[in-house]
Amino acid sequence: MKKNNIYTSILSILRLYPWSIPVIVFLGTLSSFFEGIGISLFIPLLQSVDQTNFSTGKNNFLVDFLNRIFVDVSPNNRLIIIAVAIVGSIFFKNLLIYGNSMLFAWFNSRISHELRSKIFNQLLSISYSFLEGSESGKLMNTLASETWRTGQALSAFVSLIITCCTIFVFTILLLLLSWQLTVLVAILMTLISVIIQLVTRRVKELGQQAVDSNSALATRMWEGLAGMKVIRAFGRENYEQERFDRVSKKVRSTFFKLDVLSASVNPISEVLSALLLVCILVITLLQDKTSLPRLLTFIFILYRLQPQVKQLDAARINLIALSSAVNDVISLLDDSDKPYIRSGNINFQKLKKGIYFESVSFAYNATEKPAIQDISLFIPQGKTIAIVGPSGAGKSTLIGLICRFYNLEIGEIYIDDYSLKELNLQDWRNQIAIVSQDVHMFSTTVLENIAYGRLGVTESEIIEAAKLANAHQFISELPQGYDTKVGDRGVRLSGGQRQRIALARAIVRNPEILILDEATNALDSISEHLIQEALNTLSENRTVIVIAHRLATIEQADKIIVLNEGRVIEEGNLQDLLKLNGLFAQLYNLQHRNAHI
């Protein structure tokens, strides 16, 4: 995706609440107006101290207007009334600022939530091929860190808008007081802004470095935690510590440089602005000492304007620094350059005939060799079908296509009389349960992990499913039974225990189609026997697709499909394949010979 201008990107986000910016601008302008009025009232206040000098004035529109307001007020009460008006203006100004702050806090919190929610929804909706081709650490960094930094960018943008409103109001007042001085000040302040831009010109480059270094750090954290067992098994603690420290130092260095540049804005601006104020005061007083009230008010407004100009520069620099984070979020949310699995419209309730593959070819990447090539096969309803073959033969790819994890470009998969892509995706997946070797456990209780198979299932149904999966006994012996938390990815359970909980999850689902992806491949003999018993029970009266390396576990399959290099090379029951004396017979005899050694 082409990176947008930061302001275009921010405005695209603000479309979520299109009314917000006009309201914030209005309140910001109104608060600036009250502040300007409060400051301007110092002219009649100072003049009223010297009663002989209080007049309507003929040489300045603003001075004349302000004096006319109080010209009919008794000289004895004029000072008090003007003072009350100044305090009132400041009160209303701060009331509006507080209201604006609360509005933005409400608005920003919802925008940040919307972004996080939309990104997570994007990750749930996008094709699995995109997730496989992306770094998990980078995706996690975008979801967790860059959405937060985008919220900071929104804050800087709103601050920029309000500051511009304030500068506009103050500039009008300055022009009314003395357009000659105002033009001079504008020229000098523009020069100050140019100087600050030259000093901070590396901010955008450092902002991109900040995103990249944050992503690298998130990747290191993710991989370090996920691979802790491998790290320790190979004694790579020092190696991983060095790699982590390297990327962490990069983050430290990048953000330090950003802070240094950002911190330089205030002192440079303040020193140059102070010099500007002193010069104006001296030059004007040398020319006309009688205009002191107007000059003091001009200086006071200019003094109040200085922080706004500094804030304008700071907000602009902050926006540039955060532009990479905003573009990162916008890029991930953009749906124009990503593959999606679109749901069909046909409702699906029950498999009646079977699953047909018709001349199906599939490659994960256009530049790579196809994972499966020109496959045509039939998986009949209510039968047990085994898919076997060496590693890389395309077995898991077939399962991924049946589950519609990927879009199919060549060939077609039919479910009964309908193309798979025409079926309602949720309906179709509701009929499937997968038990795989690589079981994912959520970091919650055993009960909730089993209930994930069918939301709303009762506790008695969960216990019954656990009994069928030969899991009830060991679950009952856990410290809190079914309420025991399994830890991150089920780390507190053994492989066999995780496998049986996954099986209970599949039983609770009561699927039409049960997929066993090397479900017993990494288990000991006792665990495998227990799970095999449960699988035999679960397999009754449903379509079962089994991927297995241990060929002894599929001897009772109704049909065995043999894959090699992405093609179907043999098909039939056990006896048929053994008679062919092909690849299956070689694998089968080799495993039986090894089992007896």
Beta-carbon contacts of residue 310 (< 8 Å; ≥ 6 apart): 265, 266, 269, 270, 273
> Which two structure tokens, joined as six digits, stand for 453?
């198979």
Q: Tokens for 437?
A: 């070797």
pLDDT value of position 56: 44
As to burial, measured by CB atoms within 10 angstroms (0-12 exposed, 13-18 middle, 19+ buried), residue 349 is exposed
Tokens linked to 282: 């001296």
In eight-state DSSP terms, residue 466 is H
Residue 277: what are its φ and ψ, rounded to 5°? -60, -45
Answer positive or negative: Cα dihedral of 197, 200, 202, 203. Answer: negative
Give the separation between CA 162 and CA 116, rounded to whole angstroms. 26
Going by their DSSP bridges, the two strands 559-564 and 384-388 should be labelled as: parallel
Of the candidates 290, 288, 296, the residue with the CA atom closest to the CA atom of residue 41: 296
Asked whether 145 and 214 are in contact (CB, 8 A), the reply is yes
184 Cβ partners below 8 Å, 6+ apart?
A: 280
- Chain centre to alpha carbon of residue 245: 25
Q: Which regions in the chain score pLDDT beneath 70?
A: 1-4, 46-47, 49-63, 200, 204, 229, 233-234, 266, 277, 280-293, 489, 519-532, 534-535, 552, 592-597
pTM, 2 dp: 0.70
Q: For residue 126, what are the contacts with CB-CB under 8 A and spacing of at least 6?
A: 338, 339, 340
Q: Greatest CA separation found in the chain?
A: 123
Collapsing DSSP to helix, strand or coil, 39 comes out as helix
Letter for the amino acid at 457? V
Counts of helices then strands in the chain (DSSP H, E): 22, 10
CA angle 270–190–302, rounded 5-degree value:
55
CA dihedral for 169, 174, 177, 180, sign (positive or negative):
negative
Neighbouring C-beta atoms of residue 445, cutoff 10 Å: 17
Q: How far is CA 355 from CA 302, 376, 408, in A?
A: 78, 11, 15
Torsion sign (Cα): 252, 254, 260, 262: negative
Distance of CA 583 to CAs 47, 68, 549, Å? 106, 105, 13
Q: Is 239 exposed, middle or buried (0-12, 13-18, 19+ CB in 10 A)?
A: exposed
